Structure 1
């Protein structure tokens, strides 16, 4: 129970970091295109984690084999799919709809886990998912609900993130966390760089007046260290102590933290429905954490039938 609690609190901190850095990333990609930004962000994180691995955890290098590399590359590819399709989808749809559809991984994770991992979520988790999904809708869906091709891309993004959560839970039990994180982060860096070379003006990354801009440089440093290196290492390390459904519910708090930091730092106002949505998301996460008193229900069931 103690390890599970520590894992859940650590993952909640990860969601906070991702939500808190959302405004930073938005500002940065107005100067530096998304794939280029992510290429630098994930490459820097890979170098930091790789350096720590070589200096302090060199014994983990002995664990490298084809299965570990395959697992890390698969996780990195799924993570890249999430970021890539989210980026493309935002070209065609609103950020509010993108936020809601991306958040649907809170529903997708338990559904996919039933088929891939044969894990059925508990009653509390199911109710928590329903409450959190309603909250996501109220928090993010501020415009008319009219689907377009961008929404389809965002839905693929949600599937990518959902699968990443599920397979992280599966692989994190089998391999050293740091080594597995380095491989997946490096994979995202390579794939982001390839797409940057193919579809963006990647040369801007080498222009001092762009890369040294306060918005870009501060965003790269903060996201590389906290929102990438530390965050994904924490997810890989702690997810082994909890379930994919609980992870998805915890990560549903990301838009709540994003809304809160946007209110504090950018002066964005929250509507009453958005505030209610934040409360519902938090309530759904907390409800899923409540213990299920199976002994009580079993006792009532036995007494009823004994009578």
Structure 2
């Protein structure tokens, strides 16, 4: 691994985490005018078109039934994650949503143990305990601030954790571009379907405000199409553990953006909860170094 390529990959993925974290505020403003599921449908449709245009030049492989099925499975988890997150933003704050969503980094090792039957590590269980405590301080500060938005965003974290888990399972078996294109179109179709079932979509004139247009542009092209392109293209130059640690910075960017642009303030207990959650993310990805063999063969 070249140091220059590794540094470029890490900085690019840090930019992705920054983009993802900063979108909580603009999405929260946009869904006041455009229903959440409809917003996600438009966002992922635009992103899927762009990635499809790029992917057509990146791969010549024809999609198989297995790759389509894998992409649809990933798309289902991705849809659930964004659906819970976007609807949850109607009822909770951007900063709290960012940290609760970040719990997915901690949940992944737990699911790996239970679903993939990987060897259990004490640090994973310790991280789960610390993360649970952090979630308590963040959402139950004063015993009156917990709401349905926090619960919806926690369900989002579970869905994103499953998406990460199964992405790891499928990525080595199928072309990354095909998986990305199929799952993005799947999210779009499911989002439009959910919107038709559960939402009353107003006239375009009422929805297409400046906040909505800005949110669609940033989330579709930067937070989705660009982010997936960067992750697919550059993750090969770094390690999975470093990627997870980089993505753990996403809620920090969410909180900073909410502080400067939305005027959100966390209580002292809430800030302490955020610190515990970040600590849990780092603990979940920490693996003790193996002891070197002390006997040298001659």
Verify same fold: TM over 0.5: yes
Give the whole-Å Cα distance in 1 for the aligned partners of 2:42 and 2:133. Answer: 36
Shift of 1:99: 5.9
Shift of 1:216: 0.6
Q: Which moved more, 1:287-296 or 1:111-120?
A: 287-296
Give the whole-Å Cα distance in 1 for the aligned partners of 2:87 and 2:256. Answer: 25
1:231 equivalent in structure 2? 227
Give the whole-Å Cα distance in 2 for the aligned partners of 1:286 and 1:107. Answer: 8
Matched, 1:210 2:207: yes
Please list, as runs of the form range in 1=range in 2, the aligned pairs for 1:103-142 lying within 5 A after superposition. Answer: 103-120=102-119, 122=121, 127=126, 130-142=129-141
Indicate the RMSD between aligned Cα atoms, in angstroms: 3.6
Give the whole-Å Cα distance in 2 for the aligned partners of 1:145 and 1:97. Answer: 14
Structure 1, unaligned runs of 5 or more = 303-307
2:262 equivalent in structure 1? 266
Shift of 1:129: 5.4
Give the whole-Å Cα distance in 1 for the aligned partners of 2:75 and 2:284. Answer: 28
Q: What TM-score do you get using the length of structure 2 for normalisation?
A: 0.79
Please list, as runs of the form range in 1=range in 2, the aligned pairs for 1:160-199 lying within 5 A after superposition. Answer: 160-199=159-198
* 2:130–2:277 CA contact under 8 A, matched in 1: yes
Shift of 1:150: 6.7
Give the whole-Å Cα distance in 2 for the aligned partners of 1:12 and 1:126. Answer: 27
SS in structure 2 of the partner of residue 295 of structure 1: coil
1:39 equivalent in structure 2? 41
Residues 280-302 of structure 1: per-residue CA shift (max 9 Å, x gap):
44444555666734327x76xx9
2:15 equivalent in structure 1? 13
1:305 equivalent in structure 2? none
Structure 1 residues 143, 70: CA separation in 2 closer, same or farther (over 3 Å shift)?
farther
Structure 2, unaligned runs of 5 or more = none
Shift of 1:67: 1.2
Shift of 1:36: 0.9
Give the whole-Å Cα distance in 2 for the aligned partners of 1:27 and 1:168. Answer: 30
Give the whole-Å Cα distance in 1 for the aligned partners of 2:107 and 2:191. Answer: 25
SS in structure 2 of the partner of residue 294 of structure 1: coil
Structure with higher helix content: 1
Q: Which moved more, 1:9-18 or 1:22-31?
A: 9-18
* 1:61–1:179 CA contact under 8 A, matched in 2: no
Q: What TM-score do you get using the length of structure 1 for normalisation?
A: 0.77
Structure 1 residues 116, 236: CA separation in 2 closer, same or farther (over 3 Å shift)?
farther
2:64 equivalent in structure 1? 65
Give the whole-Å Cα distance in 2 for the aligned partners of 1:30 and 1:68. Answer: 37
SS in structure 1 of the partner of residue 61 of structure 2: helix
Residues 63-103 of structure 1: per-residue CA shift (max 9 Å, x gap):
41111111111000111112223455567x64587666544
Give the whole-Å Cα distance in 2 for the aligned partners of 1:138 and 1:10. Answer: 32
